[in-house]
Structure 1
Amino acid sequence: MIHKHAFEALDRTLNDVMNGGSANTSKAVFGGKVVVFCGDFRQILPVVTNDTRSECVNACINSSYIWSKCKVLKLTKNMRLTVGCRSSDIQNITEFVNWLLDIGQGNVGGPNAGEAVIDIPDDLLILNSVDPMGDLIRFVYPIILDRFNELTHFQDRALLAPLNEVVQEINERMLDHFPGEEVEYLSSDSLTECEDLSEDFDPQLYSRDLLNGLKMSGMPNHRLAHKVGVPIMLLRNINHKKGLCNGTRLQVVSLGRRVIEAKVVSGTNIGYRTLISRVSLTPTDKKLPFRLKRRQFPISVCFAMTINKSQGQSLSRVGLYLKDPVFSHGQLYVALSRVKTRDGIKLVILDKESKLINKTTNVVYKEIFGNIEC
């Protein structure tokens, strides 16, 4: 998901370092140092604001001048699914792995010129349900009221959806049914100076209520509601050495007026306790006619998360709620391939009339595979 410009900047920096700033720069990439990339082009590509399909593909590392100097090494065994499995399950696992690979490469559902409608096997679906979201929640978080104090309960479970709005809807429903007293935290929102603003800009035109009502990707909302024991996710990098990075999952231990104590439940520092305080955050959304400064805890409730946030995680139980279809390359593949077993995933797919169906959209930009062998 990293933009090729980041790698090209690293290449120029290492060349400067290795050549002592000399004008006679080496032709070797990265100053002659060995750099290992790992990733899967079937997964989600770099996110470019208001991108077109061609811009998204062009942002990838295999569209950079660096790619011609790279040697491609392929991993051939799915460790997430095959480690610890019984020999009697090998055939079923192999079929599931091959189905996932075909989805990632756009080989399911006929010709795929960017989007294709595919059938999902019935054993992966929740059908004939009066409350499909509730059934999906119960599949991912069974007996949650009895086990939420266990550190591992939230470690490898998640509900996934393509859009932030749907994720928030699921999180609010889960929070309402979670035991304990709810504590509310409100942000302090203000306008900050910006060089791009015109001389005619009048900050008095934008009321406090308007600023408080803004909801933006990657930013905490004005109103945060939490309970002790609830899983949360960091939205900013706080301490890399302690594993407190954007996307780290934690569980609330205590709720104070000015700090929130939480323990890490994902990554390499599981069980580590930390105190989270409010920080000043500024969104990067260029659509806003002003620059907002929001002082709030950089966290969000994460019973559910977006598919993009789940990339790179290995989970035992996943519920995929497709109230809206996926909209970007690799999203469906990423969501389906988070689990360790076929039995660990269930899908709810709704049509425009909110009726349960067994078909969904798979988005694959096949040109991304043009100069590599999958």
Structure 2
Amino acid sequence: MRLTVGSSASDAEEIKQFAKWLLDIGEGNVGGLNDGEASIEIPSDLLITDTSDPISTLIDFVYPSILENFNNQNYFSEEREYLSSDSLCQSENPNATQQKLYSPDVLNGLKVSGLPNHRLALKVGVPVMLLRNIDQQNGLCNGTRLQVKKMYNHVIEAEIISGGNIGTRTYIPRISLIPSDKKIPFEFQRRQFPLAVCFAMTINKSQGQSLSRVGLYLKQQVFTHGQLYVALSRVKTRQGVKLLILDNDGKPTNKTTNVVYKEVFRDL
């Protein structure tokens, strides 16, 4: 479905072949039938093979505008810094010792998965990801990608660039967030914009999104059912995806793991 949107009749055969290859990956049929983990070869035209600086080559593919604008002073200027307000939750009933032990400076330094950082540095045009469900009906869900348009003291004006509400302007407020990480032995709250700069994301976060370019960095192999298929099927064209796969010695390779458990498809 992604591949056919906006495509021309002249590209029909190429689209058909790429779509079949994607479905074969999703169904575990590349390189022969397999059930579980299998090693497959990726076509050479989809690979990053530069051995001198492969990560830079991958970044240049995904974000070519950086190279085009690195001499433009305004492109990397006008950054604005937003600092969070961190405090122990009242349910902790903190005494004087705890308040000293977990001072705001200590809480500011905590970086927790799913929680925005204490220091959030933004600029107009930067891509960000929403970290909480704010308004699901209007597409403001955990994982939604946006582009910053204007920055105010108390709200961020942004445009949705993923999902079914692409192009919609919205305002993101500061909200109070409490991490759910059980490794932290106390409860604290962070009042901050629920955003993280999103030049890259995990495969799981990319699920459901349609992107014009995808650079897949596989420093380690995928490890769950369907992960490779999800990553590769985000794009609208074959030319829109490149993979950088590293072997055990950190060198680019054309082989990677595809994990497909056929029992998932039974009784569908």
What TM-score, normalized by structure 2, do the two folds share? 0.83
The Cα shift of 1:241 comes to 4.3
Q: Counterparts in 2 of 1:343-358, with a 5 A limit?
A: 343-358=239-254
Partner of 2:64, secondary structure, is coil
Please point out which of 82, 89, 93 is paired with 1:192: 89
2:197 maps to 301
User: Over aligned residues, Cα RMSD in angstroms?
Assistant: 2.9
Percent identity among equivalent residues? 67
1:277 maps to a residue whose letter is P
Question: Distance in 1 between the 2:38 and 2:75 partners?
Answer: 38
Higher strand share: 2
The Cα shift of 1:359 comes to 1.6
The Cα shift of 1:335 comes to 0.6
Question: Distance in 2 between the 1:308 and 1:322 partners?
Answer: 14
Question: Distance in 1 between the 2:240 and 2:107 partners?
Answer: 41
- Gaps of at least 5 residues in structure 1 are 1-78, 148-176
1:341 and 2:246 matched: no
Question: Distance in 2 between the 1:335 and 1:329 partners?
Answer: 12
1:326 maps to a residue whose letter is V
- Greater relative contact order, per chain length (Cα 8 Å cut-off, separation 6+): 2
Question: Distance in 2 between the 1:323 and 1:345 partners?
Answer: 17
Deviations 1:232-278 (A, max 9, x none): 12112223344322222222122233332223333444443333221
Q: Counterparts in 2 of 1:258-337, with a 5 A limit?
A: 258-337=154-233
Question: Distance in 2 between the 1:219 and 1:119 partners?
Answer: 37
The Cα shift of 1:346 comes to 0.6
Q: Which moved more, 1:122-131 or 1:320-329?
A: 320-329
Please point out which of 192, 211, 219 is paired with 2:115: 219
1:247 maps to 143
In the alignment, is the contact (CA less than 8 A) between 2:60 and 2:67 conserved in 1? no
The Cα shift of 1:284 comes to 2.1
1:370 maps to 266
- Gaps of at least 5 residues in structure 2 are none
Larger Rg: 1
In the alignment, is the contact (CA less than 8 A) between 1:264 and 1:271 conserved in 2? yes
In the alignment, is the contact (CA less than 8 A) between 1:194 and 1:290 conserved in 2? no
In the alignment, is the contact (CA less than 8 A) between 1:261 and 1:273 conserved in 2? yes
What TM-score, normalized by structure 1, do the two folds share? 0.62
The Cα shift of 1:290 comes to 2.0
Q: Counterparts in 2 of 1:78-117, with a 5 A limit?
A: 79-109=1-31, 112-117=34-39
Question: Distance in 2 between the 1:218 and 1:93 partners?
Answer: 37
Partner of 2:223, secondary structure, is coil
Question: Distance in 1 between the 2:75 and 2:259 partners?
Answer: 35
Deviations 1:135-182 (A, max 9, x none): 2222122234768xxxxxxxxxxxxxxxxxxxxxxxxxxxxx952132
2:80 maps to 183
Question: Distance in 2 between the 1:128 and 1:114 partners?
Answer: 31
1:106–1:213 Cα change, 3 Å? farther
Deviations 1:182-240 (A, max 9, x none): 22222222222558x9xxx9565445454333333322122211112212121122233
Please point out which of 119, 132, 136 is paired with 2:58: 136
1:314 maps to a residue whose letter is S
